[in-house]
């Protein structure tokens, strides 16, 4: 196993290092851009420079170090945690993209260690603990996104950490504050996990794994952490809007349109080019900050679409929820890692069904129901995709390990009834 891990890490490092100089993928570029802005100017925003100029600068770390950038507009188009981390790495260690890659690989190693501790905390047999840790380490989804500068691997780590802290609290009754704080960080890593902590806490309250007081305190702490960012946005944009990301308007428009019932898939949910609506947006542009105005416009356009097409509401909902829970790719993506990803998701899906039907473990059932309800909630708002599910790999892997343990115990019980008794 050790040899395979070293081989996998080495190969992914080589690939990531080869493509790091061309972070042209728009989402990945945005995180780097805002992180650079924070490090150079202290502003969570943009420069008065073109995209091409910034990309060229990333290829010349020494140029970035001495270059003076002129502040542009503030932004909240991306959630803040990953850009803040990038800014910290740039500021402390220099402006090389290699430093960001090193951090991503190191934090995955830390995630492996934490997941191993989680399995130990749950008292699995050593062979299952080693197997689960190995599967976590070589996750095809992590391999795919370890090569890009997206926020998914960071969210992956924090969800892993949150699961560990939550289980540790339930078992040892240590302070509830760490897991609640990490839950807020998860939401600020990627809003796709917006409902996950609250859903899990609520189900655990219903199943008596958490007291009502703990559920409320955890929720208040989590909301307070997220609120710090919301208040920042209110001040920065001089608005009363509650904003986690200003991209929420476009997300709504992409998740609610006439193409969804027939064309939406769990690998290609981003169906429309919202720039098609920009001509209408320009006519309605008001005094708000551009991003806020754009967000409001797309939200209004979505509401208007629903008012004018009520007959499409149920088909859109059913299509998106079906896609969100379908572990198989609804439109093909090539590559061995893509095959590995959907195979893992299939095992996870079957494990969830198995545990819901036959397991008596309240903890794991609470995690399953929490994941189900949070997935339904976010699927109603946004468009789904395998990429957005990547950070919950650690949680899904827990389901698989629980099933393996249950099956092994049942087999042992049949072979040696006295031992099982």
Give the model's pLDDT for residue 421: 38
Residue 309 belongs to some domain of the structure:
no
Judge whether 366 lies within some domain.
yes
Domain of 116?
A: 2-239+323-410
Residue pointed to by tokens 């950038």: 69
Q: Check residue 85 and give its pLDDT.
A: 97
Q: Tell me whether residue 234 is in a domain.
A: yes
Cβ neighbours around 414 below 10 Å, total? 9
Distance from the first to the final alpha carbon of the chain: 34
Q: Widest CA span of the chain, in angstroms?
A: 78
User: Which token pair is 354?
Assistant: 């198995």
Measured over the CA atoms of residue 255, residue 261, residue 262 and residue 265, the dihedral's sign is positive
Residue 213 maps to a domain: yes
| Residue 82 covered by a domain | yes
Residue 4 is predicted with a pLDDT of: 86
Residue 290 lies in a domain: no
**Domain membership flag for residue 381:** yes
Nearest-5° Cα angle at 144, 143 to 150? 110
Q: What is the pLDDT of residue 232?
A: 96
The pLDDT value given to residue 287? 66
Over its length of 421 residues, how does the chain's per-residue pLDDT go in tens digits? Answer: 778 888 988 999 998 888 876 655 678 889 999 999 999 999 999 988 877 888 888 888 888 888 889 898 899 999 999 999 999 999 999 999 999 999 999 999 999 999 999 999 999 999 999 999 999 999 999 998 888 899 999 999 999 999 999 999 999 888 899 999 999 999 999 999 999 999 999 999 999 999 999 999 999 999 999 999 999 999 999 999 999 999 998 888 888 988 899 888 888 767 776 666 665 655 556 667 888 988 988 888 899 889 999 999 999 999 999 988 988 888 877 788 889 988 999 999 999 999 999 998 999 999 999 999 999 999 988 877 777 888 999 999 999 999 999 999 888 877 765 544 3
How many domains does the chain fold into? 1
pLDDT at position 416 is 66
Paired tokens of 201:
């806490």
Residue 355 covered by a domain: yes
pTM, two decimal places: 0.93
């Amino acid at each position: 196993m050790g040899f395979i891990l070293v081989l996998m890490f080495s190969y992914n490092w080589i690939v990531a290092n080869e493509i790091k100089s061309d972070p042209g993928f728009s989402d990945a570029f945005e995180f780097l851009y805002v992180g650079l802005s924070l490090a150079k100017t202290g502003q969570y925003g943009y420069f008065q420079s073109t995209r091409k100029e910034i990309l060229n600068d990333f290829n010349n770390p020494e140029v970035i170090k001495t270059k003076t950038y002129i502040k542009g507009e503030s932004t909240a188009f991306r959630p803040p945690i990953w850009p803040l981390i990038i800014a910290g790495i740039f500021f402390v260690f220099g402006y090389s993209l290699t430093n960001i890659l090193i951090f991503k690989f190191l934090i995955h190693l830390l995630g492996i260690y934490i997941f191993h501790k989680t399995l130990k905390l749950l008292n699995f047999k050593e062979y299952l603990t080693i197997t689960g840790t190995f599967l976590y380490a070589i996750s095809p989804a992590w391999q795919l996104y370890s090569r890009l500068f997206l926020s998914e691997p960071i969210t992956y780590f924090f969800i892993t950490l949150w699961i560990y802290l939550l289980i540790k609290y339930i078992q040892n009754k240590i302070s509830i504050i760490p897991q609640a704080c990490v839950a807020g960080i998860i939401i600020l890593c990627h809003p796709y996990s917006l409902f996950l902590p609250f859903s899990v806490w609520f189900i655990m309250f219903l199943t008596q794994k958490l007291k009502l007081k703990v559920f409320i305190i955890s929720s208040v702490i989590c909301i307070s952490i997220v609120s710090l960012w919301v208040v920042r946005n209110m001040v920065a944009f001089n608005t009363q809007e509650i904003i986690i990301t200003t991209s929420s308007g476009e997300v709504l428009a992409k998740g609610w349109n006439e193409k969804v019932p027939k064309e939406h898939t769990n690998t290609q949910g981003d169906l429309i080019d919202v720039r098609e609506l920009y001509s209408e947006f320009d006519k309605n542009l008001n005094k708000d900050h551009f991003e806020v105005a754009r967000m409001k416009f797309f939200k209004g356009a979505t509401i208007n679409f629903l008012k004018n097409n009520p007959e499409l509401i149920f088909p859109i909902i059913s299509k998106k929820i079906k896609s969100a829970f379908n572990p198989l790719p609804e439109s093909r993506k090539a590559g061995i890692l893509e095959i590995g990803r959907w195979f893992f998701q299939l095992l996870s899906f079957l494990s969830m069904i198995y545990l819901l039907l036959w397991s008596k473990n309240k903890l794991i059932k609470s995690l399953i129901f929490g994941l189900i309800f949070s997935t339904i909630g976010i699927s109603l708002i946004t468009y789904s995709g395998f990429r957005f599910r990547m950070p919950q790999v650690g949680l899904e892997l827990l389901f698989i390990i629980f099933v393996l343990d249950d099956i092994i115990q049942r087999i042992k019980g049949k072979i040696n009834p006295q031992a099982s008794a």
